[in-house]
Amino acid sequence: MNSADLVSSLRLAGDAELLNILASADAADVAMRDPRQGLAEHRRVVAAGTTEIVLLGAMGCRYGMLAGGAGGHLVRTATTTVLVDPGPAALDTLVALAGRELFDWRELDAIAVSHFHPDHYGDLIPTIEAMTSYAAPGVRKTVLANPTTAERFGRFSPYHLGGMTDLVTLAHARTAGSGRPSATVGDITVQATPALHTEEAERRHSALGFVYRTPAVGIWYTSDTNLSAELLGDLAELISSPALVIAHADASNVTPSAERAVACHLQSRDVPVLAAALNPRHVVIQHYDMAYSEPGYRIAQAMWIQRRLRERGEQTTVLPGANGLRLVLAEQRLVSTAVALPSEAGYAVECYLRGELD
């Protein structure tokens, strides 16, 4: 029935029919207060002994947000799920994954935020609301946050940070602000790593990256940072030969430029340096700004970096990112890849990975 027909039929309806529609909506509203009620048992999609990374939005930065990107990622095992940096695309992507039965709000155990920039926390409130709404009675969920997010967001909405969830502040020894070096949720340990990134004019050492430790793999998430010898030295002490690095290497800048270096993000030319220092099995690129979002750029960037690595005899594999990219890892290696959500970029990335990894 189209809208015009619907309105016409309701104009002819009696009060009893109208009241029946209103009463049905009331019943649905009551049921929503306990969203777990009536749901089938949730079956987790991650196999035992594996860890899965799902990119919720491959884009980032200010203009990436304007193009609908910046969604963070999921870290999942068979028993635990952590949502990391839920930027403005996170909620829509999670809803889309849920519609394909690839995600369920009941599986979400914690949310982690690396720093207080909107492309990393834009969907924090709705994802906290969803995570806690679907929690089993008496179960408290967790938010892990860098010092700035814990302070500023906690002051803005203590109802969400502390009231609805347990707040854990994370910090590295080089981080401006205090906090715990790591926290364990289920079988995933999230460890703070330093990042050289300007949160605010007076805060350049308060942002974090994260190391994820699961029974299957070790992973480093760079978050937003410049590269430095000091940072690589810290990482070498925290994790050796990670199975995966999730790199926010959004820009090309293949010829070094001091002007571009102040952007506070990794660049294409940084990835071979990172690979030589840490010897990761794989690097996946995330956080493309809008100018770097076209499929052709993503593939060309990955190819250019891969050629530099092969010239140097490095074994690291470079993976371009796309919304909904699922990476399954086990025993420090990549087991499978798939792009769960259809898009032009996703199709191009899937074709490229098929040729590189088969």
Residues 252 and 295 in one domain: yes
Spatial separation of the C-alpha atoms in residues 242 and 3, rounded to whole Å:
55
Q: How many CB atoms lie within 10 A of CB 158?
A: 12
Same domain, 98 and 8: no
C-alpha to C-alpha distance for 105 and 118, rounded to whole angstroms: 22
Residue 253 lies in a domain: yes
The CB-based long-range contact list for 129-133 (8 Å cut-off, 24+ gap) reads 129/160, 129/164, 130/91, 130/94, 130/105, 131/83, 131/105, 131/165, 132/164, 132/165, 133/35, 133/105
264 and 325, same structural domain?
A: yes
Task: Supply 163's token pair.
Answer: 């009231």
Which element (helix H / strand E) includes 318? strand 317-319
Indicate the pairing of strand 108-113 with strand 141-145.
parallel
Cβ neighbours around 298 below 10 Å, total: 22
Q: What secondary structure letter does DSSP report for 105? A: G
Q: Can you tell me the mean pLDDT for 160-167?
A: 89
Are 104 and 2 in a shared domain?
no
- Does residue 128 lie in a domain region? yes
Tokens of 48: 């035992």
Distance CA 81, CA 74 (A): 7
- The average pLDDT across 280-304 equals 91
Q: Is residue 262 scored above 60 in pLDDT?
A: no
**Residue 77 reports pLDDT greater than 70:** yes
pLDDT category, 184, cuts 50, 70, 90? Answer: very high
Q: What is the mean pLDDT of residues 146-167?
A: 90
Helix 124-133, helix 90-99: angle, nearest 10: 40
Q: At residue 211, what is the residue type?
A: V
| Confidence bin at 56 (pLDDT 50/70/90) | very high
Residues 202 and 335 occupy one common structural domain: yes
Q: Is 77 a member of any domain?
A: yes
> Does any domain span residue 67?
yes
Is 124 a domain residue? yes
The residues pairing with 82 across neighbouring beta strands, listed in sequence order, are: 75, 110
Q: How many domains, in total, are found in the chain?
A: 2
User: Who wins on pLDDT, 228 or 75?
Assistant: 75
- Do 287 and 223 sit in the same domain of this protein? yes
Assess if residue 39 is contained within a domain. Answer: no
Same domain as 60, residue 209: yes
Rounded CA gap, 24 and 212, in Å?
46
> What CATH number corresponds to the domain at position 82?
3.60.15.10
**Do 291 and 243 lie in a common domain?**
yes
Q: Tokens representing 222?
A: 């760079």
- Residues 115, 253: one domain? yes
Amino acid residing at 10? L
Q: Is residue 317 part of a domain?
A: yes
Which tens digit of pLDDT belongs to each residue from 215-254? 999 999 999 998 889 999 999 999 989 999 999 987 766 6
Q: Are residues 95 and 24 in the same domain?
A: no
157 burial type by CB count under 10 A (0-12 exposed, 13-18 middle, 19+ buried)? middle
d(CA 147, CA 64): 25
Backbone dihedral angles phi then psi of residue 40, each to the nearest 5 degrees: -65, 155
Same domain, 184 and 291: yes
40 assigned to some structural domain: no
- For residue 193 the two structure tokens come to 């790593």
Q: How confident is the model over 94-119, as a mean pLDDT?
A: 94
Average pLDDT over residues 28-42: 68
8 and 149: one domain?
Answer: no
Query: What is the domain extent for residue 268?
Result: 46-357
pTM: 0.90
